Amino acid sequence: MTTLFFTVIPPDIDAAAIETAAALLRAGEVVAMPTETVYGLAANAFDPAAVKKIFVAKGRPQDNPLIVHISRTEQLYDLAEEVPEAALRLFEAYAPGPLTVILKKKPAVPDAVSAGLPTVAIRMPSHPAARALIEAAGVPLAAPSANLSGFPSPTNADDVSDDMTGRVACILDGGPCGFGIESTVVTLVTDPPRLLRPGVVTLEDLQKILGPVEVDPAVLAPLERGKAAASPGMKYKHYAPKAALTVAKGNLADLLLALYRAPGAYDHVLCFEEDAPFVPLPAVTMGKRSDPLTQTPRLFDALRDLDRAGAENALAAAPERTGVGLGVCNRLYRAAGFRFVEPDPARGRIVGLCGPTGAGKSLAAGALRDRGDLVIDTDLIAREVTAKGAPLLQTLEEHFGADILLPDGALDRKALASRAFASSEGTALLSSLTHPAIAKETVSRALEAIDRGQAAVIDAPLLYTAGLDAVCDRVVKIDAPEEVRLSRVCARDGIDETAARRRMDAQKDEYRMSEQADAVVMNDGDMKELIAKALAAVDG
């Protein structure tokens, strides 16, 4: 079949395109439409023959019911036998938006939509093109995600086109989907209500409106053999890329240790942006570790990117399991077929030790070393990675000129400093060249230690600046009042107050970022107490 293709990117939605697509829908055809979650394959929900065409286009099992999309709250009454108060409250709060509610269905809803269940799933999308299409069609639209069954849901029109050209009458390109994972599905047919599929409307959001909400066990675990699925979609292997995917549960340290312990087992890594610089394999990123709303628009694309990169065995980082992260976990765990590397409880911890100059960090580091932790001093590592013969020297020479090297090939640190620190661009360039090398070496030593159960303490004046906080299980900051630090720096380095202040000022950004530390130990002058407090803080 020929597939029409129209661009309907807001705000200037082409009304003629919408009308053409709506006419196809009224004539019983299937149209791929954008929504704010993922693209959907729409057909007139009251036309069983049209709905059957969706199943054919997707290659979808007939027992998996579809969500019906509406554009006005009143349409709930055309579809649901009863519209409970709770449904209206949910719609009030989250419609239009990425939320689907399951209610008892009216007989008018064909079995092809509900897959024979006595219930119907209903949602009101917020994407302007979807809303315009439903309005123009004049009927509710049954629509599953627009992927071939079993593959990742499409979040842009190119991916839809890859899967559906020749299989549907029309594709509407509404731009990339803002949320990128499918709607939250909650059933109000059970008491208490039950979350069947987590999404951008979170469990916590639902609980605020509904009170207690149960989480279906299939949200984070494979369905038990022989058990009926509350949501039939949870039975099937879903969202799977062609690559065999394994999720390393835990944090970045757990992911890196899993890679370290299984050399050659993986060829690609699916991780967060903060993680990528530490990963020793080609990496595909899925948003920021710290912000699940940057993960949802990337997730399915990232899974497709793994395939495009030719990945065969990929290891994935694990998202948080709360808030929007629960929705990301749900998709990723399924994409991985519930294959996990569990965190090793016996591994050592990686602890970042930071703090401004003059606060007493070296004292704490010494005590940690004395008790058997591996203390990695990043200043020493910085010297090593720029020692005579180190590959980094060549890179530095390319950027800063041949005269930063002495005749014997060793680094002329003074010359480099005068060149690099002359401007803020030069300083940034130097960091961008040296930090990755320092971080890489630091992490490789830390992994050796934690692998054998030893704690690795990263003693880094520029922990945050170098991005090393990302690999730490915990960050401890040693701090002291400014006046105390000032007099210590003067005494320690034999310099006057102006020079000491300049030295302290150079760490301003780091000092600001170190506000995120998990624990702060204040050095109030009692050394014994400082050490005791620092050891306790490192142990958490």
When binding is defined by CB under 5 A, the residue of 35, 145, 386, 442 that contacts Mg ion is: 145
Which residue has 């000022």 as its token pair? 505
Q: How far is the CB of 61 from Mg ion (least distance, A)?
A: 12
Distances (CA, A) of 519 to 33, 188, 231, 290, 533: 49, 43, 44, 19, 10
Note whether 330 binds Mg ion by CB under 5 A: no
Report the residue number, 40 or 348, with the smaller CB distance to Mg ion: 40
Site membership for ligand TXA, residue 128 (CB under 6 A): no
Residue 226: Cβ within 10 Å count: 5
Is residue 231 at the binding interface for ligand TXA, with CB under 6 A as the rule? yes
Considering only the stretches 81-89, 126-134, 142-150, 371-379, report the one whose residues sit in contact with Mg ion under the rule CB under 5 A: 142-150
CB of 88 to ligand TXA, least distance (A): 19
Exactly one of 57, 67, 171, 311 binds ligand TXA (CB under 6 A); which one?
67
Distance CA 336, CA 237 (A): 9
Binding partner of 102, given Mg ion, ligand TXA, none, CB within 5-8 angstroms per partner class: ligand TXA
Closest residue to bound Mg ion by CB: 145
- Max Cα separation, the chain? 89
Over its C-alpha atoms, the chain yields an Rg (Å, rounded) of 28
Size of the site for Mg ion (CB under 5 A): 1
- Degrees (nearest 5) of the Cα angle 361, 363, 367? 115
| Alpha carbon distances (Å) from 339 to 74, 94, 193, 221, 243 | 44, 34, 29, 11, 12
Binding region for Mg ion (CB under 5 A) out of 2-10, 114-122, 140-148, 411-419: 140-148
Q: Is 232 in the site for ligand TXA (CB under 6 A)?
A: yes
144 binds ligand TXA (CB under 6 A): yes
Residue with smallest beta-carbon separation from ligand TXA:
233
CB atoms within 10 A of CB 46: 18
Q: Residue 529 contacts by C-beta under 8 Å, 6 or more apart in sequence?
A: none
Q: Give residues with Cβ within 8 angstroms of 11, minimum separation 6.
A: 128
523 counts as binding Mg ion under rule CB under 5 A: no
Instruction: Work out which of 17, 20, 35, 514 binds ligand TXA, going by CB under 6 A.
Output: 35
Q: Which listed residue (57, 117, 160, 405) binds ligand TXA by CB under 6 A? A: 117
CA gap 398, 389 in Å, rounded: 15
* Residues within the interface to ligand TXA (CB under 6 A): 35, 37-38, 40, 64-67, 100, 102, 114, 117, 119-121, 123, 125, 143-145, 182-183, 185, 196-197, 231-233
| Residues contributing to the site for Mg ion (CB under 5 A) | 145
